[in-house]
Structure 1
């Protein structure tokens, strides 16, 4: 029976990814359950340790306990290691160790890497892994230095370095874990332009995806950007700008958030929430105090999420771009979806529609389950489920009050959101065979 299970999991790259993430989460839960992982020296209930381990590995940031006060230094480093592994991918980490040991990367391992990095082919994968590791460590190092310089104003040097390293890794990987102890992660820094810019920069770079980062850093040699990079940059910029404008308008007179602040402060807070809501997970205002219209708009941004091959979740910016392109093409009476004067294959459009409908179904399912198990307002439940699925980590305060059934539901949503709904389907579903026939064409009325 065990050998059959091993053969089943080893049958395809998606199944290996499923097994790998599950194994890392389980090991992380066992470590966080240890008395040494908590400041009070007591064992953490396994369900809570599993929740935190899943949240860290799936770079989400939803927590049952306050990370800064509940977990010890050992617990912090376990969380940080899970965030790093989950952010850049466990197969990327495994490949790094193989390269250090000068071991050859097999074809099977390249196929798993292809699935993990969401690539179309296995060509150049090892070079891409080297770039992923280099870019991640370089950006995290710069982020840690910039954070440390700022934190040194408020705390001793050693503590500033510790906080700088922790927040740089967490925020670049879009994990959302912080050591502040506030409902709004960086509330006391909401007017600090320097720290806001550093944090937004890390979130944006982490959300672009390593393929885009490689394209941007090598623009001099390549002379032009790929279609993927152009779409990611344009959609990300549009979502950030539109998001900031909408939040600014909705919250302009809300005294519980930014209503009493100056114009510059309102603008800064609006941009920060727009950036972080698509996967960052840290905030400079209490999300529960925002207007319902703003909270619902943040749900939309969280559902769209970051970009393919990044540390973020959601349906992804490219999927959103293809959907918008398909709608515009239909309105204009065109057959092809065209982005930047390039036609997309019909298979790409079908995949975008499939991913979106699948994700909507999962969010609806998770919301209905929590609406049954939890005694909370519907919008708060929908917000929490979408945050978990989009691996965002923003919360309206429901997470710490979840029942065991609610925690398991959120754990599942975080896991599916990080692994990807299609990857999970390919992993659990039977291998598709070659169709032996094609049905006759039929017609139905649409609209």
Structure 2
């Protein structure tokens, strides 16, 4: 009898938290694809292949925003609501949304569910995770509601009140979750994304604030809220805020210098417009994927620079992607320490543990390898320039959603490759974080140290 019970326990499938995350995202993507492929989701007079519906569902759930179809033209209001709902679930995490319903119905959160929540939020421990989820939901509601009010009130100057309210809510959710979807193509005289507002300071500032808050992560948002009271930031928040600011400033300067004389992007704009355009591309390239200039018209050197910004990405536990600014900070600190002949990596007078340095190196190499593999596969299936393919593959894996024009014309095989890149990019960071934080077994012996010539 005991042997039979032991056999049953072995055969019983108990998914680990990373597996729960993976299966959960796959399930949501498939449900979204089914909804988006239905006639009720499709704009009148148009038809959508199932693969395109699957692609849009994956893009929304992975908060990437790469579109094979135009959200404002090819989908009905119901379809648009499905897309933005998927972006909300994908941005906050499906376990966070499930916890919301559990809290509303006063259900107890089990320890196993807390482990999955820890995984989804990239949180340090299970202690206080439910309290953190409450804060996440509150912060997201307040920020998105504030953004919706600001954008809706502004859009009322140029469209009916009902449409302005709908546009404000849709784009506030899209911008905060770094999803990159927009509805502006509904206006025949306008280009998609925010190109129409390239010189509009109000829309630019509100959009960049939403993108910034979505990209720094909820842990940092929580510390920003409590800072006036405790007057202190953790090392994590210091690194995220300082490197986010530095990358934004450097990105603005570089883009402004490279595109200043480009007649297809910044040259026709006023001095203030040039600055706004360069700043917006610098902010959006690391997570959001929106544009106030056409990415396909940027100079090749600028596109490659944006690839680097996309690769670095946003903060951990945020709605953005990439290798994360903290990973980049550790790698940069390690390089400086090596050049100066120091053994320890120091950030803000704190020594970084060797384990975290190894994690940063491993995660960067893994991301680099996946992007290279995706780029090589797309180079086989697509007949466009290599830089355009690299741009699209990086944008997909880093869940940015900025497109140089390839996605709207990509082949069916290319769509499948991009779907896989988006899924792995959205799931990979949290899955790796959980895997690396598991308790390691103590080795009973060590191999002798060997030396390899480097450089």
Tell me the TM-score normalised to structure 1 length.
Answer: 0.96
- Which residue matches 2:58? 54
Q: Deviations over 1:178-204 (max 9, x none)?
A: 001265511111111011000000000
Is 1:90 aligned to 2:81, yes or no? no
Residues 183 and 326 from structure 1, CA distance in 2 versus in 1: closer, same or farther, beyond 3 angstroms?
Answer: farther
* Map 1:238-317 → 2, pairs under 5 A: 238-317=246-325
Q: Gaps (5+ residues) in structure 1?
A: none
Whole-Å separation in 1 of the counterparts to 2:354 and 2:319: 27
Residues 223 and 409 from structure 1, CA distance in 2 versus in 1: closer, same or farther, beyond 3 angstroms?
Answer: same
* Map 1:189-204 → 2, pairs under 5 A: 189-204=197-212
Q: CA deviation at 1:355?
A: 0.5
- Which residue matches 2:335? 327
Q: Deviations over 1:123-181 (max 9, x none)?
A: 11011000000000100000000000111111000000000000000010000000012
Q: Gaps (5+ residues) in structure 2?
A: 1-7
| TM superposition outliers: structure 1 runs of 4+ over 2 Å | 3-8, 40-44, 220-223, 424-427, 430-438
Residues 431 and 291 from structure 1, CA distance in 2 versus in 1: closer, same or farther, beyond 3 angstroms?
Answer: same
Q: CA deviation at 1:46?
A: 1.4
Residues 435 and 104 from structure 1, CA distance in 2 versus in 1: closer, same or farther, beyond 3 angstroms?
Answer: same
- Which residue matches 1:346? 354
Is 1:386 aligned to 2:398, yes or no? no
- Which residue matches 1:115? 119
Whole-Å separation in 2 of the counterparts to 1:91 and 1:164: 26
Q: CA deviation at 1:120?
A: 1.6
Q: Deviations over 1:339-379 (max 9, x none)?
A: 00011110010000001000000000000000000111100
* Of 210, 227, 235, the match for 2:243: 235
Moved more, 383-392 or 36-45: 36-45
Q: CA deviation at 1:26?
A: 0.6
- Which residue matches 2:153? 149
Q: CA deviation at 1:240?
A: 0.3
* Of 161, 164, 179, the match for 1:160: 164
Residues 377 and 369 from structure 1, CA distance in 2 versus in 1: closer, same or farther, beyond 3 angstroms?
Answer: same
CA RMSD of aligned residues (A): 1.9
Q: Is the Cα–Cα contact under 8 Å of residues 184 and 286 in structure 1 kept in the other structure?
A: no
Q: Deviations over 1:318-350 (max 9, x none)?
A: 000000000000011111111000111100100
Residues 384 and 225 from structure 1, CA distance in 2 versus in 1: closer, same or farther, beyond 3 angstroms?
Answer: same
Q: Is the Cα–Cα contact under 8 Å of residues 183 and 286 in structure 1 kept in the other structure?
A: no
Whole-Å separation in 1 of the counterparts to 2:308 and 2:370: 15
* Of 98, 105, 129, the match for 1:101: 105
Aligned length: 442
Q: Is the Cα–Cα contact under 8 Å of residues 256 and 278 in structure 2 kept in the other structure?
A: yes
Whole-Å separation in 1 of the counterparts to 2:430 and 2:363: 7
Q: CA deviation at 1:40?
A: 2.5
- Which residue matches 1:74? 78
Tell me the TM-score normalised to structure 2 length.
Answer: 0.94
Q: Deviations over 1:43-91 (max 9, x none)?
A: 5211111100000000010111110010001101100110000000011
